[in-house]
Structure 1
């Protein structure tokens, strides 16, 4: 009989870098991620996201988070996918790190996005998990470029990108919650990536390569 990993290979993806882990977002880990989101991601007067999903009331926020990830699983194809992984520290879920890509077998590029539970911020974990994730994408999943973006009023995210090696591209003028916001584009190549000082071990990547169209 086939397993859930056979049906959805990202569930079997596992990345270890010291006490930090990135794991396929199974339903068990997704429940922990929903609880983490409801404990808070950012200050009430801040909005780091283009869509203000994190402002939903407790209860609704957890349901919305689960529904979002369930939906992305159901529509996953090589030409349009979001690969989201749970981030764990010493076995505890502390955030989510992902990449969204379109027409990946041709473009070999995708945009990273992440969030960290507020209680785990300010400890260098955002930088560490992004470094490890980018190593996974470049070294094991065939990416040739990685992009990202952050609002200019989100210096923490911009600082993480700078430490990992992303280079600024264009600043876009975006309507955010009814007002103008300036969004800094960023791009990363294998040559500019600042790699982790900790050895990175990856399992389950070959099946995911096939799943995203590399064969």
Structure 2
């Protein structure tokens, strides 16, 4: 897309491709949500969106992602990448920031369909966006978080070098939920998998950056 090069941005790892979603991607992503993301007895999300009735969930998910893309601004951006494995959309990995050109700080979030969990794909897809942030965009820090009863997500963070950064207390589904906040410094990150970034240079203004701003990142491809 000539006037919105973000749709040409691709991150690739040995098993995955991450890209901004097309309408067909969102349709397939809704299938993964219907198939299940987590045990119904637990809620890993601050907003319990997976509780929506089955006949409402697909439309709600698609509208949400379209809204995310429509609100993109250079000083307030949100990459809602779909994760593709063996030609199939299997989940979401996001990367977001506000006033990034000043703060050089990003945050991440993600989910995978249950059938694809426990295979190391969560680590691989987060490593991909961290590589984009640190090597491509010149980020200095990255934040994440997970409820203390979500050992899988916390394990991904631990493997990638995050350190504890305090806790927050929330109300989720009428219950107390404790979030472990996490922080990763650029110098502490080494990707466990090779990551290639394609099509980044024309996207830099959409991240609030010039080529000079990102010059301390990796070579652009």
Q: How far did residue 206 of structure 1 move? A: 1.3
The residue number in structure 1 matching 2:68 is 72
> Does 2:133 match 1:119?
no
- Alignment partner for residue 152 of structure 1, among 143, 148, 160? 148
Which deviates more from structure 2 when the two are superposed, residues 116-125 or residues 78-87? 78-87
Q: Is the 8 A contact 1:163 1:194 kept in 2?
A: no
The one of 45, 48, 56 equivalent to 2:44 is 48
101-110 vs 63-72, which moves further: 101-110
Task: Report the RMSD for the aligned CA atoms in angstroms.
Answer: 1.3
CA distance in 2: counterparts of 1:109 and 1:207, whole angstroms: 21
Match of 2:201 among 201, 206, 210: 206
CA deviation digits over 1:63-95, x for unaligned, max 9?
Answer: 111111111111111222211111111211111
1:102 to 95, 98, 101: 98
Cα distance change, pair 8–54 in 1 and its aligned pair in 2 (3 A) = farther
Q: Secondary structure at the match of 1:6?
A: coil
Answer yes or no: is the 8 Å Cα contact 2:170–2:177 preserved in 1.
yes
In the other structure, the counterpart of 2:192 is: 196
Of residues 84-93 and 112-121 in structure 1, the stretch that sits farther from structure 2 once superposed is: 84-93
> How high is the TM-score relative to the length of structure 2?
0.90
> Which residue of the partner structure matches residue 87 of structure 1?
83
Moved over 4 A (4+): none
Other-structure match for 1:25:
21
The CA deviation at 1:146 is 0.9
SS at match of 1:73: helix
Q: Which residue of 1 aligns with 2:3?
A: 7
Select between 109-118 and 57-66 the one with higher mean Cα deviation.
57-66
Q: Contact conserved, 1:141 with 1:208, CA < 8 A, in 2? A: no
**CA distance in 1: counterparts of 2:34 and 2:3, whole angstroms:** 30
Distance apart, 1:116 and its partner CA: 0.4
Contact 2:74–2:205 (Cα < 8 Å) also in 1: no
- For structure 1, which segment, 44-53 or 11-20, has the greater mean C-alpha deviation from structure 2 after superposition? 11-20
- What are the superposed Cα offsets for residues 72-122 of structure 1, whole Å, 9 maximum, x if unpaired? 111111222211111111211111100221112211112100000011011
Q: Secondary structure at 1:185's aligned position in 2?
A: strand
Q: Which residue of 1 aligns with 2:34?
A: 38
Whole-angstrom distance in 2 between the partners of 1:12 and 1:77: 17
Gaps in structure 1 of 5+ consecutive residues: none
